[in-house]
């Protein structure tokens, strides 16, 4: 099963949008490198709609105590309810626990159209 969900130009790197794939609500993300990723639009914690969250970065500690630097800008999907963070480029794995991840879908780009498949 394949469905076209948007045009390539509908999302810039670091943006996401809600779409439907069959009977599923999904969130389509375009990471900082321009690649597309799609996930079930439900947080694994309590079912929040991830498309209402943010596609942002994650703080990483530096050599200075208490100092942080944001990295992976545009690659981290943050839940709107409780702030759980998922790495879109790592199959939707949760940053705090890589064993927990979002249900993901395969994404293809054909002739400027973004398609999702099972």
Q: Which of 79, 109, 74, 113 is nearest to 96 (CA)?
A: 79
Query: What confidence tens digit (pLDDT) does each residue in 34-75 have?
Result: 999 999 999 999 999 999 999 998 877 778 887 777 778 889
- The CATH number for 2-117, chosen from 3.40.109.10, 1.10.645.10, 3.40.50.300, 2.102.10.10, is 2.102.10.10
Instruction: Give the pLDDT of residue 66.
Output: 75
Is this model's pTM higher than 0.85 or not? yes
Q: Among residues of the chain, what percentage have pLDDT more than 90?
A: 77
Instruction: Give the pLDDT of residue 57.
Output: 86
The residues, ordered by sequence, that sit 6+ positions from 70 with a Cβ below 8 Å of its Cβ are 57, 58, 59, 60
Q: Which of 114, 76, 116 is nearest to 96 (CA)?
A: 76
Instruction: Give the pLDDT of residue 65.
Output: 82
Residue ranges per structural domain of the chain: 2-117
């Amino acid at each position: 099963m394949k469905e076209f969900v948007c045009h390539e130009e509908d999302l810039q790197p670091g943006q996401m949008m809600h779409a439907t794939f069959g009977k599923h609500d999904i969130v389509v993300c375009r990471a900082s490198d321009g690649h597309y990723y799609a996930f079930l639009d439900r947080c694994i914690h309590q079912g929040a709609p991830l498309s209402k969250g943010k596609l942002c970065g994650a703080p990483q500690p530096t050599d200075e105590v208490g100092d942080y630097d944001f990295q992976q800008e545009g690659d981290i999907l943050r839940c709107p309810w409780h702030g759980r963070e998922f790495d879109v480029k790592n199959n939707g794995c949760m940053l705090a626990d890589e064993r927990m991840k979002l249900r993901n879908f395969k994404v293809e780009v054909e002739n400027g159209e973004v398609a999702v498949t099972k």
